[in-house]
Structures are given as structure tokens and as C-alpha cells.
Amino acid sequence: MTLPVDQVFELLPAWFRSRDSGLVAGVTLLTPAEQAELAALLAAVNPDPVQQARLDYLVAKRDRGPLASLCAVIGEQVLVIEENLKQLYDDQFIETCANWVIPYIGDVIGYQGVHAVTPDVSSTRAEVGHTISFRRRKGTAAMLEELARDVTGWGACAVEFFQRLGDTQHLNHLRAQCLYAPDLRQWEPLYYIGGAFDTLSHTVDVRRIASGRGRFNIPNIGIFLWRLSPFSATAVVPHADAAAPWRFWMSPLGNDMPLFNNPQTEEPVTHLALPIDVPDPIGLRVMGAHLPDYYGQSVQVLVNGTAVDAAAVRVCNLKDDAPTWLTQPGDGKMVIDPRSGRFVMPTSIAPGPGTTVTVSFHRGFSAAMGGGEYARAASFAVAPNAGGPVQRVPADQPTIQGALNALGGAGVVEIADNGTYAEALSIDASIANATLELRAADGFMPTLLLQAELDVRGAAHTMVALNGLQIAQAPIRVPAAPDASGQPNHLSALTITHCTLVPGAAIDRNNTPADPSAAALVVELPDTALTLAQSITGAIRSDPSTSTTATDSIIDATVSTNVAYAGLDAASAGGTLSLDAVTVIGKVNAKVMQRISNSVLLAALAPADTWTAPVLAERRQIGCVRFTYLPVTSRVPSRYRCQPPLPGENVAALCVVANEGLPVGLGPRFTSLRFGTPGYAQMEPVTADAIRRGASDEGEMGAFHQLYQPQREANLRVRLVEYLRVGLEAGIFYET
């Protein structure tokens, strides 16, 4: 029986309860600090949910006598014991047990563990829960497909390639769908040719599928995987064309961006994946032919909060500047191009004064980095229940600067929508020994189009934190000069988490940077500590006395010959630099490289370059560079198991996985190095294992180290050996 905390007190005789209530007027259980906090909360107008919960707690504590307080403590412990008993019961079942119980349940059924370092699949609950059913359906395509999803955490599709073989058919076993010559009048089979959903017949391929070279043969099973994940963007303000306000890009930055499918849940255990079941880019003709499967599920346009009906939507090619893109439709049909994320409103519902257009869609990316609608509350510098001053945009203030001004120098400004804010901002943490955080509320990603440089200032021992924001058009600067009133800047630290500071200041429709050499962060103030985590940023300029620490991030100077990190003049040495699982695109010049680990430094010298090396450390007797790819001509502190090996180094000792090192000149290969594309900074599977498995824990070097993609692949290969029938062979193919 559930026993509420207050019910323990209610079980006592009325005489005891009455006498305890009489003692409340003469004694208070609140400390002086709690009394002051209660007075402040009682004076607050429209307290937020966190403040209201705190207020209710303090009022209850104030109105409670000594005996009632004792009973409350007893009641809380009763609830703890009751919850523990319930959890012990839940631990008997794989669906509800605690994470630590999963290996024990797996041991009972003979489950053999594999790599457990992958965050997305570190809990093997699904695989353990499905182990018995996997064994019963051993070797079937549906079972192998479900196994691949459970083991890797990626979208998967299993293909039996013998069904794709073109051969003379037996009259007793006709396969009417298997035509040796494709029907050129049917566009859809031709659209999927060469991929997971290819239904055309092929000649036999005698190469081995395990090596990834062969496919179509009788014993071959293909496991197709989608590494990119669909990240939702809800009620986003699209970028309107200044010359024609009826033309839009769904991306608030105004760049072409392919839309991704939001996969549907597959219910029957015998169901094989279809295009609608995987996180694939939405094709133009595919969406046009199957509009109800995509519009409303993966992409939607809303006018004044009301979704445009699917009957009023057409799918067309808007990727160029042909008349179809320049001309406004007059037939009442809205036009969408899923390949570029462009859409055009018709004259009948075109936006005008008082009309708001928002879009909901899914974009593809490798990891939860740079901000988005994923959970970020654990990374907030000021906890949601901290109880300090909070200004919410647009609920409390319509503008971000208005909220910063109303905050008073410390606390939180929280943006609770996916809007676009074109403002000139300045941040001043004017209260000493305090923290000021400008953040997007959990589940949101607003875009800040800065109209001028964002100056960040603070009093002594203050920290300014940015979280969950997408910032473009101007850099963030920590100035060393006093402000207009003569007040000096004493800011101690600037922390940027889950943010995107657009490389090159801004990007055009083709994802080309507006100013490739522009810096995104300029730290002029001496002794300032800059921290980056799970963020994407452009080039950084810093004073030599500052320190920069980056983890799980991308620092992009747009091309490898530009300067990614250096001093304020973009030539001398910047401050102390520490990198852990970071991809850097551009040259680096740091005073001290304290610790560079599990990273990729893509740097090169331009013709007639004045730099002596693409990666430089001024003081090389301090620090270490370990498990990192960097140019062989770099001048850095002592290396440890870096790639490529220096001439004369023991290659076998350098490489953790492979028995041979990386040849000089053979570097990592990426799907794309252009910000704004889905495969941005994603390492291709053909990259040498010395890099792809060359991190300290045999993961990949670079910003997506935390995904542990090689471990996912290795786990799947182990499981395929366990569950494939005799005589069958499987290969892994990546679709994204």
C-alpha cells in the first residue's frame, strides 16, 4: 500500500496532532537563509514551476510542527523502502529491470557480451530481451535485420542476395518479379538500384561479401546500415528569400539541406525494412509518389500554427534558379523540394502582415552535437532547479537583449522556442562570483543572427555559459578594453556547450562560407578560460595567456590552409590548447599544447605560406600529443602513438589495431568537410584502421569518437557469426 508522507502524521491521535499544531506559532523550523528565500518567493510574480515547487516545500515546512516534521521524515523512509521493494520485483523482468541487472539475466540464458562502450547501445536490454526469439529464428532475414538494429543502434535492412540473382527459372518455381532486363518504364526500381532496396536482377558476383566487394551470390546476406540519425526540428522559423517572401529555405540559415525520413516503428517480427522504415534522405520522386508517408510524418509546413493540408502540397525540383523556383504558384498548391529543403508558398496562402510560417522537419547528422531538440539539461551550467533568477524568451521578454538587461547580471536567460532572433547582443555578468547562462530550453534550438559582435564581459570570478544556440553572421568576442562607462572586464571563464558557431560567419544556399577566414571566437582578455563541449565552431583567436579546452567538438576554419587556432593576429601563438576527441580543420599555432588526444588535425600549408609548419607549439617541452592524426611536419610536444608515424619510428608500436602504420600522405577520408551537409566531418569506413581504430580505446579519432562506430561494427560481425546458418556469409554496407 502506498503511504503518503503526510499520512503517517494523520494516523496519530487527534490530541497529539492538535498539540503539535499549537507549537507552530512559537517555533520555526526554517533556517534564516530559508526564511529569506521564502520571502523572496512569496514576493515573486508568476513564479515558474521550479520556483513554485520550492515555494510549496518551504510553506509546508514553515507550517509544520516538530512532531509532523518527524513523521514526514519517517514517511519518506517508508516510501524509499516501498520503492526498493517495487524495484526488486521489476528486476525480475528484462523489460523493467535496472541496468546493472541486465548482465545477470543475460547470463541465465547464455548471452555472451561484446563491446559495451557504445553510448547509444551501452544497455544491451533489447538484445538480451530478444535473444530467445533470435535463436528460434536463427538465420532468417527479419531476425538478422532486428539483430543489426539492436547491436548497432542504427537503422538496418537485411537483404538475401540470392533473391536478386538473374538466372534461368524453373517452370515449377517461377518468380514473376525477377526480370533479367529491368523495365525502364518503372522509375522506382531504377531509383533504388545499387542500394538496400534494389529489386532488380543481377549477374552472379564471385567476390567475397565479407570484404565488402562482392554482393550477388547464393550464400550472401547483406546488412545495410544508416549511420546518420534524423534530428527533429519543430516549429522552426524558415529563412525567407529577401527578394521574394513566398520563397523559403527550411534551414534558418538559408542553406540547401536535404530532409530526412523519420523512421516508422516496425511492428511484426517478420517485417523487412522498407524505405519508410529507415533514416534515409527523402527523394524527390519518392516523396511525390508517397506523399502521405512523408508529409506530416517527416516534414510539415504550418501557417499561423495550422498545418497546410497534404492535398495542397506538390513535390517539385526547386534546387536551381529555374522559373519553377522563381515563379510563385498560382494554383493554390504549395511546392516542396525535399532534396534541398526549399519550398514555395502559392498566392492563395502566401505570407503577409500578421501571417507566421513555421516548418517541422528532420535533418540528418552523425551525433547529438551543436544543439538540437535532444536532451541537454544535464549540461546546463545552472541547474533547472537551482532557484536563481530566470528570464524566459519570449514568455517574459520578447527579445534576448531585453531578457539579459532584466536579469541583472547573474542567472539564466532561457529561450523556449525555435525562432530566429536578429539582434545586436552584449552579455555582462556584472555580479561577482556568479554565473550567467544564455541557453536554449531543453528541446529547442533557436538561431541568433548577430547584427554586431557579441561582447562578453563580467565582474571578478564570473563565468558566462552558452548552451544549445546556433549563432551566425558575427563572432563572439571577449574584449580586453573597458566598456563605454570605463568598467574593466574581469570575466574568468566562457563555456560553450552544444552550440553551433557557424564556420565562415554565415553560409549561402550552396553551403559556401560567406567569409572563410573569419573567426567565430575572439578572446582578447588575458587569463580567460575558454571551454568547448559538443559544439561546432569556426576559427578561434586568443591571447597567449588564455587557455582553450575542447572536447567532442569541431573547430572548422573552412579549409585546411586557413588558420583554425592562433593568436589575435592569426599568425602568432594563441593560448594553451587542450583537445580531446576534436576534429580541427585548419592550421594551429598554440603557445602550449597541454594535451591533444584522440583528435584529428587536418592542416596544410598554402603555397608561399609564411608558417613554418601546419601545426605549431611554441613551448614543446611541455605537454603531449597522443593517439592523434596530424601532419608529419608538425612541430609539437612529444608524440605517443600518433599517425602518421615519423620517419624512423617503430611503426608496430605506434598502431594499436593494425600491424602496419599509416603511409605518409594517406590521411582520414570524410563524407564531407562542408558545414551544412548531413555527412559533415563523418569519417568514411574506407579510412585506414590506424585512424579509424587508432584512438586510445580503439575507437575512431576525431569529433565523433564518442559514437564508437568501429566497436558497433565489430559487435555486429561477432553476432553475425553466432546467428548465421551454416554456409551463409554476411557483409556490412553503409548507406549513409
The continuous run of DSSP H or E covering 33 comes out as helix 32-43
Least confident window among 170-179, 330-339, 386-395, 430-439? 170-179
Is residue 652 scored above 80 in pLDDT?
no
Least confident window among 280-294, 336-350, 565-579, 588-602? 336-350
Note the pLDDT tens digit of each residue in 700-716: 999 999 999 999 999 89
Task: Please give the pLDDT value at position 3.
Answer: 53
Angle at 233 between CA 674 and CA 347, to 5 degrees: 95
Tell me the percentage of the chain whose pLDDT exceeds 70: 93
Tell me the C-alpha distance between 333 and 488, whole Å.
Answer: 58
For the chain, the average pLDDT equals 87
- List the one residue out of 9, 1, 3, 6 whose CA is nearest residue 78: 3
Least confident window among 240-254, 533-547, 629-643? 240-254
Is residue 487 scored above 60 in pLDDT?
yes
Q: How confident is the model at residue 26 (pLDDT cuts 50, 70, 90)?
A: low
- What CA–CA distances, in Å, run from 588 to 557, 574, 622, 640? 10, 9, 16, 19
Tell me the C-alpha distance between 453 and 521, whole Å.
Answer: 10
Task: Please give the pLDDT value at position 2.
Answer: 47
Cα radius of gyration (the chain): 30
Is residue 497 scored above 80 in pLDDT?
yes
Q: Cis before residue 710, ω within 30 degrees of 0?
A: no
Average pLDDT of span 390-407: 92
Q: Which residue has the higher pLDDT, 38 or 652?
A: 38
Task: Please give the pLDDT value at position 324.
Answer: 54
Task: Please give the pLDDT value at position 118.
Answer: 56
Residues in the chain: 736
Q: What dihedral angle (degrees, nearest 10) is formed by the CA atoms of 688, 692, 697, 701?
A: 120
Q: Which residue has the higher pLDDT, 111 or 294?
A: 294
Tell me the C-alpha distance between 139 and 131, whole Å.
Answer: 13
Task: State in Å, rounded, how far the first CA of the chain is from the last one.
Answer: 52
Q: Which residue has the higher pLDDT, 59 or 725?
A: 725
Task: Please give the pLDDT value at position 653.
Answer: 46
Q: How confident is the model at residue 117 (pLDDT cuts 50, 70, 90)?
A: low
Q: How confident is the model at residue 661 (pLDDT cuts 50, 70, 90)?
A: very low
Q: How confident is the model at residue 66 (pLDDT cuts 50, 70, 90)?
A: confident
Q: Which residue has the higher pLDDT, 497 or 96?
A: 497
Note the pLDDT tens digit of each residue in 664-676: 447 899 999 999 9
pTM (two decimals): 0.86
Residue 154 CB partners (closer than 8 Å, separation 6+): 148, 225, 226, 227, 712
The whole-angstrom distance between residue 734's C-alpha and the CA centroid of its chain comes to: 20
C-alpha cell at 465: 555559459
